Structure 1
Amino acid sequence: MAVASRALAAIFGGYGLAVAATLLLSQILPMARSEAVVTASMLGFVVYAAAVCWAFAAHSGRQAWLGLLLPALLMAGLAWWLKGAAS
């Protein structure tokens, strides 16, 4: 059960973290909008790989989930706030 929880955290939590990081980076990178989106998308792959490593390196399944979901929620919230502030 612990391995299944970590695998799900790696797959779904890692995806959520990568998407949130991509959203945030595409808004804060100091370059042209199109270049920022492409750069953020490429960095999203690195974030996803690091998230998968984190999910299996964490001491417990709960720590794996929290270590992925909390930063993802923080980054998604910040990206949403920045999007609203830019409008």
Structure 2
Amino acid sequence: MSATAAPGIARRRPATTRWGVAARVVAAFVAGYFVAWGATAFLVLVLPMGRADRVVTASLLSFAVWCAAALYAFGARTTWRAWWVLLALGVGTNALAYGFAGLAARP
């Protein structure tokens, strides 16, 4: 087999290292938790329900958000992209939640 791939054939990804996998695991846990935390805070503010229902619904949805963030951490093209996208999402959702808390629907 030649060094260059034929047109139409996908190239193989370089082998991942132990440090790369460890960095993705930490991104999935830490940055994923940060995204889920921000999503929970944001959803508590914007869901149109009573306070107790908002908190329960947002808390339950946070597990799905954390799972999606963990899936993205392992599916991202590079480890750095996994980190910066998850951290940007976490900062964005937390900024929305804490920056506009006064405008929240409070029945």
TM-score by length of 1: 0.94
Aligned residue for 1:13?
31
Letter in 2 for 1:33: R
What do the CA deviations read for 1:33-77 (whole angstroms, capped 9, x no partner)? 110110000000000000110000001110100111101100100
Long gaps (5+) in structure 1:
none
Hey, what does 2:64 align to over in structure 1? 46
Structure 1 vs Structure 2 CA RMSD: 1.0
Question: 5 Å matches for 1:1-87?
Answer: 1-85=19-103
CA–CA distance in structure 1, aligned partners of residues 79 and 34 of structure 2: 17
Which structure has the greater CA radius of gyration?
Answer: 2
Aligned residues: 86
Q: TM-score, normalised by structure 2?
A: 0.77
Q: Any gaps of 5 or more consecutive residues in structure 2?
A: 1-18
Q: Partner amino acid for 1:47?
A: V
Give me the whole-angstrom Cα distance separating, in 2, the residues matched to 1:4 and 1:35. Answer: 37
Runs ≥4 residues deviating over 3 A = none
Percent identity among equivalent residues? 42
